[in-house]
Amino acid sequence: MNPTNLLSQILEWMPFVLQGFALNILMSLLAIAIGTMFGTFLGLGQLSPGWIIGAPSKLATQLFRNAPWLVLLFYCIFLMPYQINVGGISIQLPSWLRATIGFSFPVAANFSEIVRGAVKSVPRGQWEAAEALGYSRRSTLFRIILPQCITRMIPPWMNLYALLLTATPLSMIVGVEEALGRTQAAVQAQSDSRVLIPMYLALLAMFFLYTWPINRLSLLLERRFRTK
């Protein structure tokens, strides 16, 4: 077989792999949405002065931040039910959805730290000034501190998303048919060792082309916010 044939053979498999990549993107979008939501609660919880909310929030954040993603993924795959009943309706939980939930835990923990870090980076004087103006702690947080934090949180949040997207192929280990799993299947189906390197390079290129602009933009935004 000559190189042109090799190339066309690889191109033939690309739609199959790209469909898998679409699942990577879907999982990452869902997980970032869920993770950001719970991460916000955890992060604000960490800032709570009382220990009833503060301590569990800190504990959960540290636990899910320091546990390997793959271990959390195993927990969700093996210990979550295949279907759940909500108000008489049974909802199927296919493995890609359980994997997505598995990814949401570390995302939430990391976002919790982003929220805490951003709030802590606001100078103490702002709290004192607001207190002097008669603001309560709660309304200081929501009306004065958080609005300043949003811009500071965007670059690390984008980095977190990029990190999440590059973690999604881990779900292949637990049987999700995403881009890496499909690349492996494609390589096996072709049973030609010459396609190995180009097939994997194509897969790396897919991830790079999606992730690199995100990290790049995050860096630009960070520099822009810093100079302000």
Is residue 102 close enough to count as binding another protein by CB under 8 A?
A: no
Q: Out of 30, 184, 217, 221, point to the residue binding another protein (CB under 8 A).
A: 184
Q: Out of 32, 42, 99, 203, point to the residue binding another protein (CB under 8 A).
A: 203
CA 216 to chain centre: 17
Long-range CB contacts (< 8 A, 24+ apart) of 12-19?
13/186, 13/189, 13/190, 13/199, 14/202, 16/182, 16/186, 17/179, 17/182, 17/183, 17/186, 17/199, 17/202, 17/203, 17/206, 18/179, 18/206, 19/182
Is residue 133 close enough to count as binding another protein by CB under 8 A?
A: no
Smallest gap from Cβ 73 to another protein, in A, equals 9
Is residue 108 close enough to count as binding another protein by CB under 8 A?
A: no
Residue 34, token pair as written in the block: 């869920």
Is residue 187 close enough to count as binding another protein by CB under 8 A?
A: yes
- Site track 156-175 with another protein (rule: CB under 8 A), x = hit: ------x---xxxxx-xx--
Overall size of the chain counted in residues = 228
Site residues (CB under 8 A) for another protein? 63, 66-71, 74-75, 78-79, 162, 166-170, 172-173, 180, 184, 187, 193, 196-197, 199-201, 203-204, 207-208, 211-212, 215
